[in-house]
Amino acid sequence: MEPKAFFHLVGYTFGLAGFVMIYWSLRPGLVAAGRDAHLKALILVHFLRYFGLTAMLPGVFNLAPAGFSEGYLFQIMAGDVLVAALALVAFALVQSGSPARIAFVWLFNTVGTLDYLNAAARVTPAIHDANILGPLGWLVITVLLPAWLVSHAAIFAVLMTRSEKVA
C-alpha cells in the first residue's frame, strides 16, 4: 500500500490524539468554571462546521473518483451548515441562561454527532488516495474532524452529569 493511500488516516489519528490531550489538559479549569462555561467552550469549535461548504467547491474535494455524487456532497454540506447554525443557537441560549439551553444543546449535539458519523463512516473509508482531498480537505480531515469528534463526546459527558459543577 502506497503512503498516499493512508496518509489522511495517520493525520486524523494524530489530530484525534492531540485534541483529546488538549481537552484533557483544559478539562479541570472547565469543570471549575461550571457546566454552562464548559458547554460554551466545547460548542465554540462547531462554529467552524461551515467548512462543510468546501465539499462543493471545485478543486477542494474531488470525491468523484471515490464514487460520491454531487447530491451526496450537497448532503454533507447542508448537514454541516445546519450543525453550525445549531451551534450558534445553542451557544446563544447557554450564554443567555435560557431555561431551554440544556435541551437545545442535547438537540445540537445529537444532530451534530449523527451528521459527523454519516459523513465520516462513508467518506473516510472511501478515500484511497489522499491527493483527492486537496489542501483544505486535508485541513478538514486532520484538524477539524478530530476536534469536532472530541467536542461531541465531551459535550455528551457534560450533559449526562446533572450537577452544575461537572466532575
pLDDT tens, 62-104? 666 667 777 887 888 889 999 999 999 999 999 999 999 999 9
Looking up cell 472530541 gives 150
Contacts within 8 Å (CB) and 24+ apart, 69-73: 72/122
Low-confidence ranges of the chain (pLDDT < 50): 166-167
* Residue 106, all three cell numbers: 442535547
* pTM of structure: 0.87
pLDDT attached to residue 10: 82
Task: Answer yes or no: are the C-beta atoms of 8 and 130 closer than 8 Å.
Answer: yes
With helix as H, strand as E and coil as C, how does 15-54 read?
HHHHHHHHHHHHHHHHHHHCHHHHHHHHHHHHHHHHHHHH
